[in-house]
Amino acid sequence: MGLKLLTVAIASVLAFNAHANTIDWGTHGKLELGTNLSEPGDIDDIFTFVLGDGGSVVSSAVALGSPGLLNIANGTVKLYRETGIEDAFLGSYAFDGTTGSTFHTFDITAPGAYYYNVVGQATGAFGGFYSLSSATTAVPEPTTLALMLAGLVATGSMYRRRYQS
């Protein structure tokens, strides 16, 4: 985990002069992180990854807002699935130069190649800074789901009997 954070810190320093970046996360782990410190102007960054099984991807964009120095306007995180001909748009959410996080959950039902496209404008005197995190959540297997439902039914039955007596 420490090595990943160090890598992110180094990447953010090296990305200072970049307007457009493409970062390949490879096979999506439990948590992926990406950052960009952009010069003033348009931001158009791509974060590619591969998912093995369907599930959910929880994404968070954090902007460091410092009006006049570092600021992002009209920030948007878009998720696409690579299909070969025309990529499938799966959804998006907005973020801005206000310091803080914006979370969004995407339900993904098929394994495959995906990417986030982060766009916006770096409007501060020194540009803009944001970080993007993405975490995967597993879909429970049918047997696990069946056991959980059986447990809920049993608990509900015991609760009902207790209050009928």
Domains of the chain are 2-164 (2.60.120.380)
Q: What pLDDT is stored for residue 16 in this prediction? A: 44
Q: Supply φ then ψ for residue 119, to 5 degrees.
A: -125, 160
Question: What's the pTM value of the predicted model, to 2 decimals?
Answer: 0.71
Summarised one tens digit per residue, pLDDT across range 66-120 is 777 888 899 999 999 998 889 999 999 998 767 667 788 888 878 899 999 999 9
Q: What pLDDT is stored for residue 21 in this prediction? A: 85
**Around Cβ 110, how many Cβ atoms within 10 Å?**
10
- How do 41-51 and 22-27 pair as beta strands? parallel
Residues 3-16: what's their mean pLDDT? 44
52: three-class secondary structure by DSSP? coil
Q: What is d(CA 58, CA 137) in angstroms, rounded to the nearest whole number?
A: 8
Summarised one tens digit per residue, pLDDT across range 26-59 is 999 889 999 888 899 999 999 999 988 767 888 9
Residues 13-27: what's their mean pLDDT? 68
Per-residue DSSP letters for the chain?
Answer: -HHHHHHHHHHHHHGGG-SS-EEEEEE--SEEEEEEEEPSEEEEEEEEEEESS-EEEEEEEEE--BTTTB-EEEEEEEEEE--SSSPEEEEEEEE-SSBEEEEEEEEE-S-EEEEEEEEEEE-BTTBEEEEEEEEEEEPPPHHHHHHHHHHHHHHHHHHHHHHH-
Decide if 59 contacts 116 (C-beta within 8 A).
yes
